[in-house]
Amino acid sequence: MLRRTLKYGRCTAEATRTGGAIIEREVRDGGLVAKKRSITLEPVKPVGSITANTRGHLAAIDAESAPYLVTEAMPPFQSRVGRISAGVDSIPPAATARLVDRGLVTVGPPWRSTSNGYLPETRATVAVSLAARLAMLAQDHRTYTIAPAGYVKPLDIGHDFIGRNSPRGGVTYDRRSPAGCSCRTWSATSVDGRDDARRLAREHRQQMTAEFIASLG
């Protein structure tokens, strides 16, 4: 749904740390100037911060082609109940319960299998939820901006040719506002103040979200 919206709706999306997305769209309601409208899609339960330990579990689930949750098993396999089996990783019942309860993992309908080839076992397919993926994406791209220096002596910003004869007695106004991201792969400097730097940062987050949505295939 998200992918279709972006592809055909001339929209941009930005992942939120709660596991939702802000969809922004330009609309022209008769006027000459396009206005920006935005709606925020949120999961039923907002996703809180995701720790490194939880991320490890989600990565294990994601790496496995057919991860499943054991919901019923016979002795001596009852210790499997409540665990998520993801390849060589087995996520303990308490951690599994938290993943499901927080909406980080979705659980499919149950199906019958066996524990050891013949003792019956009930399993349910699990997957990392879209909300968890969006929240992790937002966590990975926390952007910041730095306020312009404002009135400075030109020499302090490496110029010695402007402002010297200005009425302000040799000071100039530095509007440059740097921006960066916690992913450490992006930074920029606006020459037009902090609001413009915030716009650049938002564009980076939107770009990262667009690439993520495209990768959903």
CB of residue 65 to Zn ion, shortest distance in Å = 29
Sign for the pseudo-dihedral over CA of 181, 186, 189, 195: negative
In the complex, the smallest distance separating the C-beta of residue 203 from Zn ion, rounded to whole angstroms, is 11
* Alpha carbons 125 and 108: distance in angstroms, whole number: 5
Q: Give the 3-state secondary structure of residue 160.
A: coil
Q: How far is CA 3 from the centre of its chain?
A: 15
- Closer residue to Zn ion (CB): 15 or 69: 15
Measured from the CB atom, the residue of 14 and 121 that comes closer to Zn ion is 14
Distance from chain centroid for Cα 215 = 13
Q: Quick one: 55 or 98, whose CB is closer to Zn ion?
A: 55
Size of the site for Zn ion (CB under 5 A): 4
CB of 49 to Zn ion, least distance (A): 17
Q: Beta-carbon neighbour count of residue 207 at 10 Å?
A: 14
First to last CA, the chain: 12
Contact 47, 104 (CB under 8 A): yes
Q: Is 183 in the site for Zn ion (CB under 5 A)?
A: yes
Structure token pair of residue 178: 């740097």
If one asks whether residue 104 binds Zn ion (CB under 5 A), the answer comes out as no
- Smallest distance, Å, CB 21 to Zn ion? 16
Q: Which residue has the tokens 């930005």?
A: 14
CB 16 within 8 A of CB 28: no
Q: Does 181 bind Zn ion (CB under 5 A)?
A: yes
Least CB distance from residue 210 to Zn ion, whole Å?
A: 13
Q: How far is the CB of 102 from Zn ion (least distance, A)?
A: 24
Q: Which is nearer to Zn ion, 70 or 181 (CB)?
A: 181
Task: Choose, by CB under 5 A, the member of 131, 141, 148, 180 that binds Zn ion.
Answer: 141
Is the Cβ of residue 133 or residue 141 nearer to Zn ion in the bound state?
A: 141
Q: For 164, how many CA atoms within 13 A lie in the half-sphere containing its CB?
A: 5
CB closer to Zn ion out of 131 and 181: 181
Residues of this chain that bind Zn ion (CB under 5 A): 141, 181, 183, 186
